[in-house]
Chains A and B, each alone.
Chain A
Amino acid sequence: MKLKDWAFKKSPWIFHLGAGSCNNCDIELLDCITPKFDVERFGILLVGSPRHADCLVITGIVTKKVLPRLKRVYKQTPDPKIVIAVGACACSGGIFRDGYNMAGPVDRVIPVDVYIPGCPPKPEAIISGIVKALGDMK
């Protein structure tokens, strides 16, 4: 294992992008870093810029207005990166699948590594998803 991959697995930094979600997945994701779940003790950190991030966590159906911005954020995230789609909307479009402003789901726009279904997924599910994504890293 190269040094870069080793470091990547030890402390994945996350950039969260709400691409037209209802906030539920977003607050559950944020819940992961507060005392009850506290993923920071494992080195998982929410960062404010995609340029600092290892993981891109995307919630929500990708709306048409967000589409170009999502592509840009994906390009700005340095390799190696993993993309995690959180919630039913990001995985499949969910209840908004038939909406006229829908440009997603996420995997139609950018490649997705991990899908975490649920409306919203519980923080445990989100943590488990990220851990599995890291386990798959070779």
Chain B
Amino acid sequence: MAEKKRTIIPIGPYHPLQEEPEFFLLGVEGEKVVDIEWKTGYNHRGIERIAETKSYDQVTFLVERVCGICSTSHPIAYCNAMEDLAGIEIPERAKYIRSIIAELERIHSHLLWVGLAGHFLGYNTVWMWSWKYREPVLDIMEAISGNRQNYAMLKIGGVRRDIEESDIPKILKMVEKLVPNLDLLTGAITDDPVLHVRLKGVGILTKEEARNYGATGPTARASGLPFDARRDSPYAAYDLVDWKVITRQEGDVFAKVVVRLLEMYESVKIIKECLMRLRKVKTEIAIKVEEIPPGEGIGHPEAPRGEVFHYIRSDGTNRPVRHKIRAPSFCNVPTFRATVIGETISDATIILAAVDPCYCCTERMAVVDKRTGKKEMNGFDLIRLSQEKTKDLRRKMLGK
């Protein structure tokens, strides 16, 4: 490698748009990416340690703030772990409400991702549209929980708020209104010939690699691994309603887009069915938890990005002795070594984004020559590179 001119591109740690700071170093030779490194820790808040100083009820609200986008998945994981530890079965009505909230969160997270992926490809219209269609989802959340984010719906032994009988028709109507919008987005994305050229066969993660890296969620399902914690180890109401796991065999970026788009339809189906069932099931929404016995418990529900894992150890007091959290991006980010290496720099942006790695910092990249240390490009240039590639393709294909 010493002979060839090798360039290092740092990505991050700050992204002007949003999300957690993360830092990637791309090693490139000319246009080709030959190496990638991941540095993290900008966002380390010491949550596991703080959890050990809080009581069990308080930790529910702490884990909600692990990630703002998955602010239901983490409490569900934590409550599942606690219920596993204490041997509690939650009431049926609480199960349905948990599923409704989790699926609404999935739709909002996937729409958010589709929008940002569109932005990185130079399709700002997709970004604006999908964020516009995300707003009704947040309105439903506000109607149910009182807040647009951080819903605070979960508690050990059930849920904190009920969905009133009188609200169900309104919510059903709002959910049904989402479908034409999803149709529009799905149609616009899957019919676009430029996007096909830009995304198909790019950043392929084979089935074997996905298995070896331990990928989870849509990243694994797009590579033909039909793993979904909702089906494999049912929690909430996922074993009570009818839905199917979406998989694709290709493993490229396009497959990841399609998996996410189709998953949203399944989510709408689950929400509608749960709301219908809520009318018949008139149980309590939570049971009273008297005490937490000593022991261990795990919870591993399916977050929008993959399987999230919580482990709790209790010694019989009112606070956890050990609380371990593993987020899905931790499993999915290492797959970059399989997907990005060998691709061009202009494709790296979208491949990194395809995993939805709690997005990080693709926009603050800079190309640095490894030998001279001189900056050649910054993040805007890289995004521009990605957007220009799409523009060129569009010009060639449509003759514009």
**Chain A residues close to B by CB (< 8 Å):** 15-18, 20-31, 34-36, 46-49, 60-61, 63, 65-66, 69, 73, 94-96, 98-102, 119-120, 122
Q: Could you say which residues of chain A place their CB within 8 Å of the CB of B127? A: 34
- A-chain residues with CB within 8 Å of residue B69 when the two chains form the complex: 23-24, 27
List the A side residues contacting B71 at CB < 8 Å: 22, 24
Bound Cα distance from A120 to B61, whole angstroms: 13
In the complex, what residues of B have CB within 8 A of residue A21's CB? 20, 43, 68
Contacts of A29 in B (CB 8 A): 18
**Top 5 nearest A-B pairs by Cβ distance?**
A24-B68, A23-B68, A34-B131, A48-B16, A99-B46
User: Are the CB atoms of B44 and A101 closer together than 8 Å?
Assistant: yes
Q: Is B394 in the interface zone, CB < 8 Å from A?
A: no
Partner of B16, one of A22, A47, A98, A120: A47
Name the distance in Å between A29's Cβ and chain B's nearest Cβ.
7
**Counting CB contacts under 8 A, is B344 at the interface?**
no
Assess whether A122 is in contact with B148, with CB atoms less than 8 Å apart.
yes
* Least CB distance, A112 to chain B, in whole angstroms: 19
State the CA gap A47–B379 with chains docked (Å). 12
Bound CA span A17–B47, Å = 21
Residues of B within 8 A of A15 (CB): 16
- Whether the Cβ atoms of B21 and A101 lie closer than 8 Å is no
A65 and B44 contact, CB distance less than 8 A: yes
Q: Which of A35, A47, A48, A66 lies in contact with B21, CB distance below 8 A?
A: A66
Contact of A95 among B14, B65, B115 (CB under 8 A): B65
Are B42 and A16 in contact (CB-based, < 8 A)? no
Residues in B301-353 with C-beta less than 8 Å from chain A: none
Given known A63-B42, A63-B45, contact A23–B16 (CB-CB < 8 A): no
CB distance from A14 to the nearest CB of B (A): 9
What is the bound-complex CA distance between A21 and B61, given in angstroms?
A: 15
Whether A99 pairs with B49 at a CB distance below 8 angstroms is: yes
Which among A17, A30, A34, A63 is the interface contact of B43 at CB below 8 angstroms? A63
Known contacts: A23-B18, A23-B68, A23-B69. The answer to whether A28 contacts B45 by CB under 8 A is: no
A-contact 0/1 string along B68-88, CB 8 Å cutoff: 110100000000000000000
Cβ-based interface call for B41 (8 A): yes
Closest B residue to A38 using CB positions: B128
Is the CB of B363 closer than 8 A to any CB of chain A? yes
Q: Counting CB contacts under 8 A, is B112 at the interface? A: yes
B137-155 CB contacts (< 8 Å) to partner A: 148-150
Would B45 and A101 count as touching, CB distance under 8 A? yes
Q: Which of B14, B67, B363 contacts A22 (CB 8 A)?
A: B67
Interface status of B53 (Cβ within 8 A of chain A): yes
Q: Which residues of A contact B14 (CB under 8 A)?
A: 17-18, 69, 73
Partner of B45, one of A25, A27, A46, A96: A96
Chain A residues near B148: list those with CB within 8 A.
Answer: 28, 120, 122
Interchain nearest-CB distance for B151 vs A (Å) = 11
Q: Mark B265-290, 1 if CB is under 8 A from A, else 0.
A: 00000000000000000000000000
User: B149–A27 contact, CB under 8 A?
Assistant: yes
Question: Which residues of B13-35 are within 8 A (CB) of A?
Answer: 13-21
**Does residue B364 face the partner (Cβ distance < 8 Å to A)?**
yes
Please, how many angstroms separate the alpha-carbon atoms of A100 and B49 in the complex? 8
Chain B residues with Cβ below 8 Å from A17 are 14
- What 4 new A-B contacts, CB under 8 Å, besides A63-B42, A65-B41, A98-B53? A28-B149, A48-B379, A69-B14, A99-B46
Residue numbers in B under 8 Å from A102 (CB-CB): 45-46
Report 11 cross-chain contacts, Cβ distance below 8 Å, ordered by A residue.
A18-B20, A22-B65, A23-B68, A24-B65, A26-B19, A34-B127, A48-B16, A49-B16, A98-B53, A99-B45, A99-B46
B62 engages A27 (CB within 8 Å): no
- What is the minimal beta-carbon distance from A45 to any residue of chain B, in angstroms? 10
The answer to whether B62 touches A95, judged by C-beta atoms less than 8 angstroms apart, is yes
In the complex, chain B residues whose CB is within 8 Å of the CB of A47: 16
Judging by beta carbons under 8 Å apart, are B363 and A48 in contact?
Answer: yes
Which has the most chain B C-beta neighbours within 10 Å: A26, A27, A29, A30? A27
B232 at the interface (CB under 8 A from A): no
Mark each residue of chain B from 180 to 196: 1 if its CB lies under 8 Å from any CB of chain A, else 0.
Answer: 00000000000000000
Whole-angstrom distance between the Cβ of B37 and the nearest chain A Cβ: 17
**B132 interface residue (CB < 8 Å to A):** yes
